[in-house]
């Protein structure tokens, strides 16, 4: 694995991309993002220690165990609302280090028969993170007997399903299209005169459905095809499902470039040192909800993460945890405050449910 601090001049993926762009022309932003994460030699997915204090970015389950615990209880209660089917597919998309699922299973054992009824399905594209998840869950005493890993949700067997995804959608590549001279154009990654990567305006395109015909000048719209693919996989399921999607992004329609790179907990230039930073972009919940409804699915929310966790009882959970671990009380409180922060994760992050029609809205949306 390449060291983290590869200089930009000898960054191996940069050399590869330079050749590719020289040969084939500029890359749509989506293809650049895809190359950065999935290059078989130098892609970001080959890295193991990307999430957590020692990595590049920290996620909610790594900040506080209450996050996974409340989601575990949410899964169990949602299972009861489905009529307690057995077996039930418990699916996580992009499980990271496996922390959320470990904490979720520990909490969910308090609901009788749920973990016995659940078969666990972890959808993970990164072999490196899959190994981390296996190690995390192997240490968990409450794991259901059957845990299987998949590269795509389409591989998860049919049957009633409860699906959770935290910071999964933001990692799926986006296209960017930019409005200029009265028409939409693909935004691309090109080479400048010095051979450095640079954003540029690509070919004129016909905007897909839903894109405004007369946007503000220089508007940028971000399009994430992976959402359609996920929704198509969900609609193909013959049994009812409930999917909880938590991610960062605005609740209402929005324009603008939100592509961001984070390395070692700091924002970085998304075009510098490709393959060595986490590349993500906002999830546009209003657009996602529209696509889900168009696919004949029901949508609940989005609501802010603070509202979601607050209604699930994070304050009570934290109080009990602090009483049981007085030595860790300050750290527990700080973690919960970070998840709920009105100027941070509590507002920026949203929780939204996409589910089969005909089911009641799950807690705490109902």
List contacts with ligand SAH (CB under 6 A): 45, 51, 59-62, 94-96, 100, 123-126, 129, 166-168, 171-172
Report whether 303 contacts 365 (CB < 8 A). yes
Residues 6+ apart with CB under 8 A from 63: 335, 338, 339
Buried b (16+ CB within 10 A) or exposed e, 58-81: ebbbbbbbbbbbbbbbbbbbbbee
CB 19 to ligand SAH: min, Å: 25
Q: Is 218 helix (H, G, I), strand (E, B) or coil?
A: coil
Among residues 27 and 101, whose Cβ is nearest to ligand SAH?
A: 101
Report whether 144 contacts 120 (CB < 8 A). yes
CB 201 to ligand SAH: min, Å: 28
CB 23 to ligand SAH: min, Å: 26
* Residue 362 DSSP class: P
CB 87 to ligand SAH: min, Å: 22
* DSSP letters for 56-76: SB--HHHH-HHHHHHHHHHHH
Q: What distances in angstroms separate CA 221 from CA 8, 138, 211, one per listed residue?
A: 29, 42, 8
Among residues 59 and 119, whose Cβ is nearest to ligand SAH?
A: 59
Among residues 26 and 56, whose Cβ is nearest to ligand SAH?
A: 56
> Which residue sits closest to ligand SAH, CB atoms considered?
94
CB 74 to ligand SAH: min, Å: 15
Among residues 230 and 318, whose Cβ is nearest to ligand SAH?
A: 230
Among residues 52 and 250, whose Cβ is nearest to ligand SAH?
A: 52
């Amino acid at each position: 694995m390449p060291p983290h601090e590869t200089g930009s001049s000898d960054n191996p993926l940069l050399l590869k991309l330079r050749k590719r762009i020289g040969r084939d022309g500029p890359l749509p932003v989506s293809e650049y993002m895809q190359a950065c994460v999935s290059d078989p030699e130098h892609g970001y997915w080959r890295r193991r220690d990307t999430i957590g204090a020692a990595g590049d970015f920290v996620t909610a389950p790594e900040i506080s165990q209450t996050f996974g615990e409340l989601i575990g209880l949410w899964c169990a209660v949602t299972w009861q609302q489905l009529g307690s089917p057995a077996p039930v597919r418990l699916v996580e998309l992009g499980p990271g280090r496996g922390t959320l699922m470990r904490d979720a299973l520990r909490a969910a054992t308090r609901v009788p028969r749920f973990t016995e009824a659940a078969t666990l399905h972890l959808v993970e594209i990164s072999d490196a993170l899959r190994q981390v998840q296996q190690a995390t869950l192997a240490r968990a005493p409450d794991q259901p007997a059957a845990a299987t890993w998949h590269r795509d949700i389409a591989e998860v067997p049919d049957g009633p399903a409860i699906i959770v995804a935290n910071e999964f959608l933001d990692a799926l590549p986006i296209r960017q299209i930019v409005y200029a001279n009265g028409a939409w154009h693909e935004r691309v990654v090109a080479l400048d005169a010095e051979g450095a990567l640079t954003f540029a305006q690509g070919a004129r395109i016909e905007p897909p459905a839903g894109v405004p015909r007369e946007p503000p000048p220089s508007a940028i719209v971000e399009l994430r095809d992976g959402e359609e693919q996920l929704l198509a996989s969900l609609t193909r399921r013959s049994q009812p499902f409930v999917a909880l999607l938590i991610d960062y992004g605005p609740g209402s329609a929005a324009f603008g470039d939100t592509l961001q790179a984070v390395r070692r907990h700091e924002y970085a230039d998304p075009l510098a040192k490709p393959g060595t930073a986490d590349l993500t972009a906002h999830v546009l919940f209003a657009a996602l909800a529209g696509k889900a409804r168009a696919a004949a699915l029901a949508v609940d929310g989005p609501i802010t993460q603070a509202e979601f966790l607050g209604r699930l009882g994070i304050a009570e959970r934290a109080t009990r945890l602090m009483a049981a671990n007085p030595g860790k009380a300050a750290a527990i409180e700080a973690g919960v405050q970070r998840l709920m922060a009105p100027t941070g994760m509590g507002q920026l992050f949203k929780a939204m449910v996409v589910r089969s029609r005909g089911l009641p809205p799950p807690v705490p949306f109902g």
